[in-house]
Structure 1
Amino acid sequence: MEANHPELALISDFLANCLPFDSLDSVTLLELAEQFEIAYYRHGHRFSVADGEGLLLLRSGAVDQFGEEGISQRLESGESFILPPETQGVRFTAFEDSLIYHLPEDAFAALCARFRHVDRYFRSRRERRLRRAARYRVQADYYSRAVADVMSSPPLTVTPETSIFETAELMTAKRVSSVLVERDGQLLGIVTDRDLRSRVLAAGRNGEVTIISVMTQQPRTVALQANLFDAVLIMADKRVHHLPVVDEQGRACGMVTTSDIQLAREDDPLFFVQRIGRANSEEQLATMMQRLPEMFRQWVAADTQSHQIARLTTTISDAVTRRLIELAQLELGPAPAKFCWLGFGSQARGEQLLGGDQDNGLLIEDGLNESQKHWFEQLGKRVCDGLNACGYVYCPGGVMASTPEWRKELGEWRKTVDAWLRSPSSAAVMRVSIFFDLRSIYGEVSLCENLQIYMLSQTQKNSIFLASLAENVLSSTPPLGLFGRLLVERGGEHSRELDLKKRGILPIVEMTRLHALANGLAEVNTYARLHALAKMGVISLADSRNMEDAYTLINSIRLKQQARQLADGETPNHFLKPESLSRLQRQHLKQAFGIVRQAQDSVRLNYRSGI
């Protein structure tokens, strides 16, 4: 093939920047480019791809993939469409005008046969999508799980002639709470712990009597092919806690109990939060929170979007905080005045991940006496100690409701804000960067809203303060050197690693906060701020989307790194070795850092007069 065909060169150059084609030599890429067919779909066009139709590669635009549960992911430039075997009901819709390259099945099969690493790449993608689809279905509809997935099998059985005493011995030895009574494989009845208490002990029956005399005859059952929703409905309707599972011939093959259902829901985030709300001690909360790292790892493995994971971990953090406050009030008595527990920083933004420390405070209505102040001092200490026990370690800088500086009445908080704005020292700017991202976690929301409105009214008209804040924003530059090379940390524990948080995440968060404070925006979530700033015209829609994409990409890489660290038994952090990334991933990361650098240049221009 001649290399001077411009169309083929364009395709070849594009393939060189897409996984796994980036590992192929230029001659192979040109040969491959000749085999691709090109299709163009307008916005809103719907189409489907059957397994065995080859490979589709998105050249430009965006395409939404839909399954039986609705939209499952949005594909962007450089991503391929390859479906797992036996996929049902998958379709695509062009979210934007899209240009798509199609490699026919025979050419795709020949490519995989020729290059083992290409075959492994697409095979692993099939497997990952199968796992992800399964996990999405579990998360999206917990009750659609099959009864067979959660039942205990095989069930303990006895004959009608077995004595009550022998049955109780068997149940104790097998550590089960129920037994089925059968004859010749046919289910006759069921006996539970409750039956033994109410029908034997309470009734004074002789233990030598046969079990048939106390069993529940013809118990309600559920079919092996049924789902959990069917089982829960039956148990709720009949008010039973044990439900035999039977096959097509009516033979008992398992048992579903309320304990089985609860155990199956342990890793469901919503159920986990509900359990947190029912915890009766700090110790119980701390034990429950030991599950969070594994849940986090599972969310990442399921390709859950980074902002969704952040919202989940923040929701759990909020739930723990609220329950600790409730437990403290059970001991201290009701609050003597209206108050609001404030979350700062990443918790306030709904962007909290693993490994973070506490950032919180207490906002109390004006007019406290000494006795009331002492009550809130105790509350702050108990809750912060509890959070530390649950894995949210004490803030090294003391930004916690347990310290007087961060536990104040509304009027005192206003004076503190005034002092920070009048004298924007580096220490004051650091406090503001934490405090101005605030959210009510518990208590009187109106107190938090009152303080936030006051802060925004003061920051908008203070150009010197905004300039100081901008200077702080510009102090953390993205790790890019000459010719776009990635710059790693020099010296220290994380030498030759990238600091994804300090050099990538925080600059985006802080620049977005700066624009929000300068324009009186009440939103604190980074994505919400970017959308609002674009809507106001403070930044262009293109810049808003670029910042959002950069933030998502860097966060996604950080999450996957932390999941790997958890799997290896390490403490998750924000540092990454560049060599652990593929060439294409490094290129995307450089582009994200480049967007951060351009945004900082814009900040420098817009706030130069104040600086």
Structure 2
Amino acid sequence: MSQTLIPNIRDFLASIDPFDKLPKELQRKIACCINITYLAKGEQVHFGGEHELRYLYVIRTGSMEQRKHNGMLRAKLGAEDLFGFTFLDESQTELQEGYSATAIENTLLYLIPHSDLLSLLEEYPDFAEHFASNVQVRLHSALDVVWSDSEKGVFVKKVSEVASNKIVVVDSSTPIREVAREIMDVCSPTAVIKENGEIIGLVTDRDMTKRVIVAGLDINRPVKEIMTPHPLTVAPSDLVLKASSMMMQNNVRSLPVVDGSNVVGVITTTHLVRNNKIQAVFLIEKIKYANTISDLTALTSERQAIFEALVEGQVSADITGHVMTMIMDSYNRRLLQMAEDHFGEPPCDYAWIVAGSHARNEVHMLSDQDNAIILSDDATTEDRAYFRELAEWVCNALDACAFPLCTGKFMAMNPKWCMPLKVWKASYSKWVSNPEYDSLLNVTVFLETRWLHGKESFNTELQKHLFDSIQKSHVFLSSLVRDSVSVNPPLGIFNSLVLEKSGENSKTLNIKRYAINLLVDLARIYGLSSGSETAETMARYNHAYEHKLLSEDMLKNVQGAFQFLTQIRLSQQLMALKEGRVPDNNIDPNSFGSFERKHLKDAFRIIADLQEYTKLKFTRE
């Protein structure tokens, strides 16, 4: 190759992922290794031969189509795309099976010999991950957390940066009087109780008031009698986000900071208020004490501020989902309490349950309402009229608080989803035994539910009935499999090719429909097959792996794909909010650089492979 071409090639490599992350000297060395080839439309590159030289291919201009030997589409690739990662690892299954890549228009390729690339990466091991043969490793590199320089409040701080070292640690036999004196002397709101060197409980200054003074308890009794046992703790290296989430979820105001068996400090709600500029962590506390719908709607901007801080700080999508879910839970619970105050005491027992992303702890800024009511079997016609009014009031109030009404009407305000427990059971039995389209839709919406308010045992009993019904059905799981593979990920997306052809979203990809939902649907199948009781998507895949329904490699692939896709969706929602637009699930592939496009294609290919594996596995079984 002419030396005069090397600067031009290096400049091109420096503009695309992952070469743009390499030092200039390594970019130059790779450019010096490159062979250049031209393919006319229809010409092929073949892989898998024992004696063939192996290359990493970079498309300079044109486009390629990859197909497996069985004719299935593997991917479509355009300018700036790379392929040939798989063959960097001799152990890869596809190395034996092989696949072909065909030029679907005149194409100019840069060929980097694997032997040269591997040698260079030995010199620069810090950059090897970007060229890993395993797709989950490459996806993981896309998810590395790098905090933004802008202020994110307390979310991204370590507990050790915020916690107080003023802490009281006493033995379980210490008299209440002495513990109270130590709490006052140290000016700590909390005392940690130990027994035989182990932390067994916690006492706060509020506990002293409620459990001792108000109750008239003898102050010479051992503190063990008034402590809260089995206290939650955090480590100094934990993010404050984790601590605040634990406090909100468990309604506690203090957490001991523990390093091994040593108590090194305490973190309280007061510390968080003082250190958090937007006080986002305490939105749940504000929701809890709101008295009107107007009070709650006024907090919408703070909810958005929390979301923006989490996504800008590149907090993982699963943690973001959990935090946003806890906030949505708080709105639901407070509105239900307000509704009961407004309409009077409920005439019979009931359970308010949530479904969909809310039940899966995967709430984001687009999450709408999916909820229902399970009534006691002795509910009368008058009772049902009460709950219809209550549900309509709560659902409309949630809508006013920016949790939109479900377009499919899967809400408690719909009489279909406000039924006695025995009617719910009968409906589940019918849906599972005869999973036609409407029945399958109903059961998939309510396949994951989570209790939120009222009588929890109603939901527990209903879920047990559902799983028992599925175990007895010979057709339900196969129907679920057919439905989950009826929509395919966009393996053909490249350059300006998009999926949506009409309407306002004429040049966009619906990442929810064509990617995230496919992984959620497949997770249901693996969760049911492995007997998982959790509703969370990745927890279902993990459970399936533990029960040997998925290989470790498959699990890591799915984990990387799901994390990357959900992170992309959250980033797109953040961008819309920043630009004053209403967020949606439609993304413009042309707005991405080569980095995002490559990883999107990796994720789509993982989904397609999982669909194919699932279809074969469950059809065979």
Contact 2:139–2:599 (Cα < 8 Å) also in 1: no
Distance change (3 Å), C-alpha of 1:481 and 1:22: farther
Q: Does 1:416 align with 2:411?
A: no
CA distance in 2 between counterparts of 1:284 and 1:278 reads: 9
Q: Does 1:426 align with 2:437?
A: yes
- Please list, as runs of the form range in 1=range in 2, the aligned pairs for 1:75-154 lying within 5 A after superposition: 129-131=148-150, 136-138=155-157, 140=159, 143=162
Q: Which amino acid aligns with 2:560?
A: D
Q: Which amino acid aligns with 1:498?
A: L
Q: 1:467 aligns to what?
A: 478
- Please list, as runs of the form range in 1=range in 2, the aligned pairs for 1:329-408 lying within 5 A after superposition: 329-408=340-419
SS of 1:340's equivalent in the other structure is strand
**Counterpart pick for 1:545 among 556, 568, 572:** 556
Distance change (3 Å), C-alpha of 1:311 and 1:494: same
Aligned length: 422
CA distance in 2 between counterparts of 1:424 and 1:496 reads: 35
Moved over 6 A (4+): 12-16, 22-26, 31-37, 74-77, 258-261, 482-486
CA distance in 1 between counterparts of 2:159 and 2:585 reads: 30
Contact 1:460–1:519 (Cα < 8 Å) also in 2: no
- Please list, as runs of the form range in 1=range in 2, the aligned pairs for 1:97-496 lying within 5 A after superposition: 129-131=148-150, 136-138=155-157, 140=159, 143=162, 265=276, 267-481=278-492, 487-496=498-507
Q: Which amino acid aligns with 1:441?
A: L
The alpha-carbon deviation at position 266 of structure 1 amounts to 7.0
The alpha-carbon deviation at position 336 of structure 1 amounts to 2.4
SS of 2:299's equivalent in the other structure is helix
Q: Does 1:571 align with 2:582?
A: yes
The alpha-carbon deviation at position 483 of structure 1 amounts to 9.1
CA distance in 2 between counterparts of 1:265 and 1:16 reads: 38
CA distance in 2 between counterparts of 1:131 and 1:426 reads: 49
The alpha-carbon deviation at position 260 of structure 1 amounts to 12
Contact 1:341–1:362 (Cα < 8 Å) also in 2: yes
CA distance in 1 between counterparts of 2:319 and 2:283 reads: 16
- Please list, as runs of the form range in 1=range in 2, the aligned pairs for 1:3-42 lying within 5 A after superposition: 17-18=17-18, 20-21=20-21, 27=28, 29-30=30-31, 38=123
CA distance in 1 between counterparts of 2:307 and 2:482 reads: 35
SS of 1:20's equivalent in the other structure is helix
CA distance in 1 between counterparts of 2:308 and 2:368 reads: 19
Contact 2:350–2:454 (Cα < 8 Å) also in 1: yes
Distance change (3 Å), C-alpha of 1:563 and 1:397: same
Q: Which amino acid aligns with 1:427?
A: D
Contact 1:19–1:584 (Cα < 8 Å) also in 2: no
Q: Which amino acid aligns with 1:368?
A: A
Contact 1:421–1:459 (Cα < 8 Å) also in 2: yes
Contact 1:358–1:393 (Cα < 8 Å) also in 2: yes
Distance change (3 Å), C-alpha of 1:564 and 1:58: same
Distance change (3 Å), C-alpha of 1:277 and 1:265: farther
The alpha-carbon deviation at position 433 of structure 1 amounts to 1.4
Q: Which amino acid aligns with 1:350?
A: N
CA distance in 2 between counterparts of 1:26 and 1:260 reads: 48
Contact 2:280–2:302 (Cα < 8 Å) also in 1: no
Q: 1:67 aligns to what?
A: none
The alpha-carbon deviation at position 315 of structure 1 amounts to 0.8
Distance change (3 Å), C-alpha of 1:404 and 1:266: farther
CA distance in 1 between counterparts of 2:494 and 2:313 reads: 36
Distance change (3 Å), C-alpha of 1:544 and 1:137: closer
CA distance in 1 between counterparts of 2:19 and 2:551 reads: 31
The alpha-carbon deviation at position 605 of structure 1 amounts to 1.2
Where do 5+ consecutive residues of structure 2 fail to align? 4-11, 34-116, 165-268
CA deviations on 1:367-423 (whole Å, 9 max, x unpaired) are 112332222222211111111111112112211111110001110100011111232
CA distance in 1 between counterparts of 2:18 and 2:398 reads: 44
The alpha-carbon deviation at position 273 of structure 1 amounts to 0.8
CA deviations on 1:42-64 (whole Å, 9 max, x unpaired) are xxxxxxxxxxxxx8664689xxx
TM-score normalised per structure 2: 0.61
Q: 1:605 aligns to what?
A: 616
Distance change (3 Å), C-alpha of 1:266 and 1:396: farther
Contact 2:148–2:312 (Cα < 8 Å) also in 1: no
Q: Which amino acid aligns with 1:572?
A: P
CA distance in 2 between counterparts of 1:80 and 1:467 reads: 34
CA distance in 2 between counterparts of 1:77 and 1:383 reads: 41
Higher relative contact order at CA 8 Å, sep ≥6: structure 1 or structure 2?
A: 2
The alpha-carbon deviation at position 290 of structure 1 amounts to 3.1
Contact 2:376–2:420 (Cα < 8 Å) also in 1: yes
Distance change (3 Å), C-alpha of 1:387 and 1:136: closer
CA distance in 2 between counterparts of 1:568 and 1:484 reads: 25
Distance change (3 Å), C-alpha of 1:16 and 1:567: closer
CA distance in 2 between counterparts of 1:346 and 1:482 reads: 27
Q: Which amino acid aligns with 1:18?
A: P
CA distance in 1 between counterparts of 2:124 and 2:590 reads: 36
Percent pairwise identity: 25
Contact 1:340–1:362 (Cα < 8 Å) also in 2: yes
Q: 1:103 aligns to what?
A: none
CA distance in 2 between counterparts of 1:458 and 1:261 reads: 47
Q: Which amino acid aligns with 1:297?
A: E
CA deviations on 1:209-261 (whole Å, 9 max, x unpaired) are xxxxxxxxxxxxxxxxxxxxxxxxxxxxxxxxxxxxxxxxxxxxxxxxx9999
SS of 1:363's equivalent in the other structure is strand
CA distance in 1 between counterparts of 2:494 and 2:271 reads: 58
The alpha-carbon deviation at position 131 of structure 1 amounts to 4.1
The alpha-carbon deviation at position 325 of structure 1 amounts to 0.4
Contact 2:325–2:361 (Cα < 8 Å) also in 1: yes
Contact 2:162–2:271 (Cα < 8 Å) also in 1: no
TM-score normalised per structure 1: 0.62
CA distance in 1 between counterparts of 2:374 and 2:280 reads: 29
CA distance in 1 between counterparts of 2:600 and 2:554 reads: 17
CA deviations on 1:150-206 (whole Å, 9 max, x unpaired) are xxxxxxxxxxxxxxxxxxxxxxxxxxxxxxxxxxxxxxxxxxxxxxxxxxxxxxxxx
SS of 1:421's equivalent in the other structure is helix
Contact 2:373–2:418 (Cα < 8 Å) also in 1: yes
SS of 1:291's equivalent in the other structure is helix
Deviates more, 1:392-401 or 1:410-419: 392-401
CA deviations on 1:490-536 (whole Å, 9 max, x unpaired) are 22221121111000100000011022223432110001111111001
The alpha-carbon deviation at position 140 of structure 1 amounts to 4.6
Q: Does 1:535 align with 2:565?
A: no
The alpha-carbon deviation at position 143 of structure 1 amounts to 4.2
Where do 5+ consecutive residues of structure 1 fail to align? 4-11, 41-54, 62-73, 82-124, 146-257
